[in-house]
Amino acid sequence: MQPKRNVVHLPVYQPGKSTDEVKRELGLSNIIKLASNENPFGSSPQVKQALIDEIQHTSLYPDGAAVALTAAVAQHLGVNSNQIIFGAGSDEVILMLCRAFLVPGDEIVIADQTFPQYKHNADIEGAVTIEVPLRDGGHDLEAMLAAVNERTKLVFICNPNNPTGTIVSADELHSFMKRVSDQVLVVLDEAYCEYVTDPTFPDALPLLSEYKNLITLRTFSKIYGLASLRIGYGVGHPDVIHTINQVREPFNTTRFAQVAALAAVQDQAFIAECRQRNAEGIVYLQSQFARLGLSSFPAHGNFIMVDVGLPAVAAFDALLRKGFITRAGHQKYPHHLRITIGSKEQNEALIVALEQVLAETQVKS
């Protein structure tokens, strides 16, 4: 049976290498994974107990509406329950958005180096992706606005942007929302927003009451440390959420994901501690990169994108052989690695290994 014509050409998403894979390939016993922007500090201790208590219910379907979790997140964010939809990670919410709002020939507008699942899901629906070049690693909202036309259905803004880590300021976002057509749904992907400490970063939630055509996406995979359980959510106008719900699969989030997320959102002290330790890690890595003569983008998530001064694939491979998994392969930035902010010990070990790689490269040249 032949696949749909519009998916034949699609690339398969390539996740970063796993620690077990690297151990097998290179015969290493100790691996530090800094490739997938996972929380090096794990999740709240309350999550473990919640999962243990839930073991007895493995034979039961989850709550399809995630009522308890929806109520807790709504209270935490100060929104109404009918403004929230959950997915198997915010990735699934992106999928549902594209399924709900796009038909063949529609257009979406995105940055030319951003989270690839926006384009991937638009391609599946037969829509056209208009890619606007980043400016100094950040979204060029003026150029993105100029790219919007009568065929545009969705605009995706990743804030902080993955992979560069840059942010769109509150003033920039407000200006954009005032001028973009209210027939265009603006998707503000805030997967890393809980890490941001910059005071210019926008609080998107109050804007939801002003702009029906705005939805923000968030996740429990990053600072909450629940990446393996796959749960994220969107917050928007009730009418938009209703439309997305019409294409949502039944029981799309598990009992374990729901109870873990409920426990996680109730421990904001843990989140504050992770934010602080991540900020300290950013300062350390930026200072060390500067010492080594390497430039990096401003980092606002739990990762940093650095120009290592040589082909990123070569740097990735050299670090891999020293036991460090990073992320290379960014088309617009062939000399950059995206590196997750680790623990203090992981960050320090990374710098030692990177300095060795740079020295070895200089010797060879």
pLDDT in tens, the chain (365 residues): 455 666 656 666 566 667 777 667 766 768 999 999 999 999 999 999 999 999 999 999 999 999 999 999 999 999 999 999 999 999 999 999 999 999 999 999 999 999 999 999 999 999 999 999 999 999 999 999 999 999 999 999 999 999 999 999 999 999 999 999 999 999 999 999 999 999 999 999 999 999 999 999 999 999 999 999 999 999 999 999 999 999 999 999 999 999 999 999 999 999 999 999 999 999 999 999 999 999 999 999 999 999 999 999 999 999 999 999 999 989 999 999 999 999 999 999 999 999 999 998 876 65
pLDDT at 312: 97
* Domain boundary assignment for the chain: 16-42+269-364, 46-266
Q: pTM of the full predicted structure?
A: 0.93
pLDDT at 48: 95
The distance of Cα 238 from the centroid of its chain, to the nearest Å, equals 24
The structure tokens 């407000």 sit at: 174
Going by C-beta distance under 8 Å and a sequence separation of 6 or more, which residues neighbour residue 113?
A: 134, 161, 163, 164, 330, 331, 332, 333
- Let me know if 279 is exposed, middle or buried by CB neighbors in 10 A (0-12, 13-18, 19+): middle
With CA atoms as reference, report the closest residue to 314 among 247, 365, 361. 361
pLDDT at 30: 86
Q: Which fold has domain 46-266?
A: Aspartate Aminotransferase; domain 2 (3.40.640)
Quote the CA–CA distance of 175 and 245 in Å, as a whole number.
30
- Let me know if 56 is exposed, middle or buried by CB neighbors in 10 A (0-12, 13-18, 19+): exposed
Length of the chain: 365
pLDDT at 25: 73
The CATH superfamily holding the domain 16-42+269-364 is Aspartate Aminotransferase, domain 1 (3.90.1150.10)
Quick one: DSSP state of residue 58? T
Residue 351 DSSP SS3: helix
At 160, the amino acid letter reads P
3-state secondary structure 278-291: HHHHHHHHHHHHHH
β-bridge partners, 214: 186
* Residues 197 and 283 sit within 8 Å (Cβ to Cβ): no
